[in-house]
């Protein structure tokens, strides 16, 4: 995974938008973002992913494919929806099995976007309450394992007054020591 500040220039969201300013692992950790690179085992074994799941108490998982073929007529709408700034009430955990894409996470202190380019073998944990968004890159394909602490769910709460004051957002800000 490569992390850098988003350049904020207009243009296709699937382009790199690379400002040339790298972001360190320490900066990501300071905002609660964790990541590992775990090579995808072609034989189907996921021992290292299972170890992370056990350590973090993830009980369920599924696999999703995001491509023009898999989403059909809903493709453009789904891609635009994923790219809206939002948060979740649960951690968001993604392990890239094939393809690649971008997770953009909001750095609270500066309101800057940090772009994380992920490809096969990258596993990322976004804390509950962090503002983020997702898009494919120019390859327009990703197959991703989603991990969940409880039953699989994916409810996005778009940024606004209600999400800014939600208990999950406030807990997140407390966890990164923002007052």
The pLDDT of residue 22 is above 50: yes
Asked if residue 176 is part of any domain, the answer here is no
Asked if residue 8 is part of any domain, the answer here is yes
Asked if residue 136 is part of any domain, the answer here is yes
Asked if residue 122 is part of any domain, the answer here is yes
What 3-state class would DSSP assign to 125? strand
Asked if residue 6 is part of any domain, the answer here is yes
pTM of the model: 0.94
| pLDDT at res. 45 | 67
Asked if residue 178 is part of any domain, the answer here is no
Mean pLDDT, range 133-151, rounded to an integer: 94
Q: What is the CATH number of the domain that holds 21?
A: 2.60.120.10
For 68-90, write each residue's pLDDT tens digit: 999 999 999 999 999 999 999 99
User: Within 10 Å of residue 146's Cβ, how many Cβ atoms?
Assistant: 17
């Amino acid at each position: 995974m490569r992390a850098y500040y988003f350049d904020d220039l207009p243009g296709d969201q699937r382009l790199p938008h690379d400002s040339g300013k790298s972001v360190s692992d320490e900066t990501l950790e300071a905002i609660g973002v964790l990541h590992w690179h775990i090579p995808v085992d072609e034989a189907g074994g996921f021992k290292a992913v299972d170890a992370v799941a056990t350590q973090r108490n993830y009980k369920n998982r599924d696999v999703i494919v995001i491509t023009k073929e898999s989403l059909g007529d809903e493709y453009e709408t789904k891609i635009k929806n994923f790219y809206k700034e939002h948060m979740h009430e649960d951690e968001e955990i993604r392990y890239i099995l094939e393809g690649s894409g971008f997770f953009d996470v909001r750095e609270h202190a500066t309101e800057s976007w940090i772009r994380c380019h992920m490809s096969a073998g990258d596993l990322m944990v976004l804390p509950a309450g962090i503002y983020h968004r997702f898009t494919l890159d120019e390859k327009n394909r990703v197959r991703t394992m989603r991990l969940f602490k409880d039953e699989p769910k994916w409810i996005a709460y778009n940024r606004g007054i209600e999400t800014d004051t939600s208990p999950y957002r406030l807990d997140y800000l407390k966890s990164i020591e923002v007052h």
